[in-house]
């Protein structure tokens, strides 16, 4: 059993799953932070109302970003070729995301430093940008990945990226950005309905069903686009050597318009994942209208899990397809770190990931309960 666990193929599969877990963890936790920032101008009209919305995420947003750091670290250590291409080739898009994310801590910390309406309004719009822009750009990135990224390798495995920022902003990628934005607005509204007392929670509960319905419609429409072949698709056409050395030049792959459906066709049970990705936002919409805040937030979380998992399951074993030379695409079996690196990282993950989960659960348990205008007014430490 131990030998099987540390088999190179098994380690690669484990780290592919862990990468998905970390990305989903980031979307589920930091996703409602971004959703709250996006909704801030619409659910809160007065200064005290905006402070209520901000303080629902104020104690937890920094901890939620740990998942983003863990995801980036996992890509760097477990999938170095993926890190090199995505973080350097998509540098301008990443810069926009980081710029927007930097606005969040500055906005949180500086907003209440001056008792000036103009000052606070400016920082509120900074928080809006810090929520909406990353939510949109992350979806745009997924859309480009589904279509294929323009890169190839030289004979000495030096990656060459041939795209630009404007090429990333194509219609299908922007469509995926809208899916992501609607999904996280739904999630932010679910969080506010769950945590904010009074008019802020009520306004969020009124906006939430519209965002949830839009997320379900857009995600289902994305499935139609994939079925029609608009998003393209890539598959390995030659024999797969699962435990071979990490060299993306030693395989044969091709573009195939129906490739993103093959895994679902070969394993029909997998269709439950995208199906839940459509149905769960509708459950969340019903929860908003029924004022079942706990059910709504839970359904919102699960819908994010299913939507992101659908992308991973559709692409497997491809991680990053190449539109200029499909045979240079990165896959689970030819883009990972060495067996020793994956094994040693797994030891560290087994020790520290449960600690992170336990600490996170404890923090949310301590901070349980709704945030009201009275709580914000009476607390000296509130934002």
Q: What is the DSSP string of 277-341?
A: HHHHHHHHHHHHHHT-HHHHHHHHHHHHHHHHHHHHHHHTTEEE-BSS-GGG-EETTTSS--HHH
pLDDT band at 89 (very low <50, low <70, confident <90, very high): confident
Residue 131 has pLDDT above 60, yes or no: yes
**Mean pLDDT, to the nearest integer, of 276-305?**
96
pLDDT of 382 reads 66
Q: Is the pLDDT of residue 304 over 90?
A: yes
User: Which comes out higher in pLDDT, residue 1 or 314?
Assistant: 314
Q: Which of 86-90, 202-206, 252-256, 285-289 has the lowest mean pLDDT?
A: 86-90
DSSP classification of residue 260: G
Query: Are the C-beta atoms of 182 and 211 separated by less than 8 Å?
Result: yes
pLDDT band at residue 3, thresholds of 50, 70 and 90?
Answer: low
Q: If pLDDT is split at 50, 70 and 90, which confidence band does 196 have?
A: very high
For 138-179, how does the pLDDT look when each residue is reduced to its tens digit (9 = 90+)?
Answer: 999 999 999 999 999 998 888 888 877 777 888 999 999 999
Give the pLDDT mean for 316-343.
94
For 336-381, strand residue ranges (E) read none
pTM of the model: 0.93
C-alpha angle with apex 188: 184 to 192, nearest 5 degrees? 170
Mean pLDDT of the chain: 91
The answer on pLDDT for 237 being more than 80 is: yes
- At residue 380 the predicted structure's pLDDT band, cuts being 50, 70 and 90, is low
What pLDDT, on the 0 to 100 scale, is given for residue 157?
86
Question: Which of 64-73, 159-168, 372-381 is predicted most confidently?
Answer: 64-73
Residue 357 CA to residue 368 CA, distance in Å, equals 16
| The predicted structure's pLDDT at residue 4 | 55
Strand ranges (E), the chain? 151-153, 159-161, 234-236, 253-255, 318-320, 330-331
CA 145 to chain centroid: 13
pLDDT at 242 over 70: yes
Residue 331 has pLDDT above 70, yes or no: yes
pLDDT at 372: 83
């Amino acid at each position: 059993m131990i030998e099987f666990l540390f088999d190179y193929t098994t380690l690669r599969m484990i780290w592919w799953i862990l990468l998905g877990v970390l990305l989903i963890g980031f979307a589920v936790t930091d996703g409602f932070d971004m959703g709250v920032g996006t909704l801030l101008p619409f659910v809160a009209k007065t200064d005290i109302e905006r402070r209520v919305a901000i303080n629902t995420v104020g104690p937890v947003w920094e901890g939620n970003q740990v998942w983003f750091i863990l995801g980036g670290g996992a890509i760097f250590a477990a999938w170095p070729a993926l890190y090199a291409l995505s973080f350097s080739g998509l540098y301008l898009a990443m810069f926009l995301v980081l710029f927007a994310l930097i606005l969040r801590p500055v906005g949180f910390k500086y907003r209440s430093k001056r008792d000036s309406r103009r000052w606070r309004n400016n920082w509120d719009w900074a928080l809006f940008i810090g929520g909406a822009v990353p939510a949109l750009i992350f979806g745009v990135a997924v859309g480009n990945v589904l279509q294929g990224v323009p890169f190839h390798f030289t004979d000495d495995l030096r990656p060459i990226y041939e795209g630009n920022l404007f090429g990333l902003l194509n219609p299908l990628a922007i469509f995926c950005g809208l899916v992501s934005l609607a999904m996280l607005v739904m999630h932010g509204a679910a969080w506010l309905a769950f945590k904010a007392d009074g008019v802020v929670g009520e306004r969020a509960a009124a906006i939430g069903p519209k965002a949830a319905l839009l997320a379900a419609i857009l995600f289902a429409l994305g499935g139609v686009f994939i079925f029609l072949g608009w998003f393209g698709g890539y598959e390995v056409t030659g024999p797969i050597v699962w435990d071979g050395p990490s060299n993306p030049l030693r395989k044969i792959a091709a573009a195939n318009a129906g490739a993103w459906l093959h895994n679902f066709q070969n394993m029909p049970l997998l269709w439950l994942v995208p199906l839940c990705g459509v149905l769960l936002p509708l459950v969340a919409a019903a929860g908003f209208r029924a004022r079942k805040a706990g059910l709504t937030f839970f359904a919102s979380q699960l819908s994010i899990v299913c939507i992101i998992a659908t992308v991973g399951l559709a692409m497997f074993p491809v991680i990053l397809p190449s539109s200029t030379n499909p045979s240079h695409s990165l896959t689970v079996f030819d883009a990972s770190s060495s067996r020793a690196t994956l094994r040693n990282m797994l030891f560290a993950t087994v020790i520290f990931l449960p600690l992170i989960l336990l600490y996170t659960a404890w923090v949310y348990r301590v901070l349980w309960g709704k945030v009201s205008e009275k709580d914000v007014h009476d607390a000296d430490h509130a934002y």
